[in-house]
Amino acid sequence: MRRRLAIWLLMSLAAVGCATTGTLQNGRYQGEETSYRIGPVGEGWTAVSVDRQNDLAWHNGSKGAVIHVDSDCDPSLDIPLTALRSHLMIGFTEREMVEELLVPMDGREALRTSFTAKLDGVPRQILLQILKKDGCVYDFGLITPLGETFDEALPDFDRMLAGFTTTTDQP
Q: What is the reported pLDDT for 2?
A: 42
Please state, as a whole number, how many other Cβ atoms lie within 10 Å of the Cβ of residue 134. Answer: 10
Is residue 170's pLDDT more than 50?
no
75 within a domain of the structure (yes/no)? yes
Do the beta carbons of residue 23 and residue 30 sit within 8 Å?
yes
Task: Work out how many domains the chain is built from and give that number.
Answer: 1
In a domain? residue 134: yes
Q: How far, in Å, CA of 124 to CA of 24, rounded?
A: 28
Least confident of 28-32, 79-83, 166-170: 166-170
Within-domain flag for 88:
yes
25-72 pLDDT, tens digit each = 888 998 888 899 999 998 999 999 766 677 899 999 988 999 999 999
Q: What is the mean pLDDT of residues 100-106?
A: 96
What span, in angstroms and rounded, lies between the C-alpha atoms of 61 and 121? Answer: 21
What's the average model confidence in pLDDT over 125-148? 94
Question: How many Å apart are CA 107 and CA 116, to the nearest integer?
Answer: 29
- Give the structural domain span for 32: 4-166
Record the pTM: 0.84
4: how many CB neighbours lie within 10 A of its CB?
22
Evaluate whether residue 171 is within a structural domain. no
Helical ranges in 49-147 per DSSP H:
81-88
Residue 81 lies in a domain: yes
Percentage of residues in the chain having pLDDT higher than 70: 84
Higher pLDDT, 15 or 3: 3
Decide if 125 is inside a domain: yes
Mean pLDDT of all residues in the chain?
Answer: 84
Asked whether residue 85 carries a pLDDT value surpassing 80, the answer given is: yes
Mean pLDDT of 99-108: 96
Q: Is residue 73 part of a domain?
A: yes
Residue count (the chain):
171
DSSP alpha helix (H) spans, 106-164:
148-162
pLDDT: which is higher, 5 or 114: 114
CA distances from 40 to 19, 22, 113, 129 (A): 21, 17, 22, 17
Residue 21 has a pLDDT of 67
Please give the pLDDT value at position 82: 92
Question: Which CATH number covers residue 42?
Answer: 3.40.1000.10
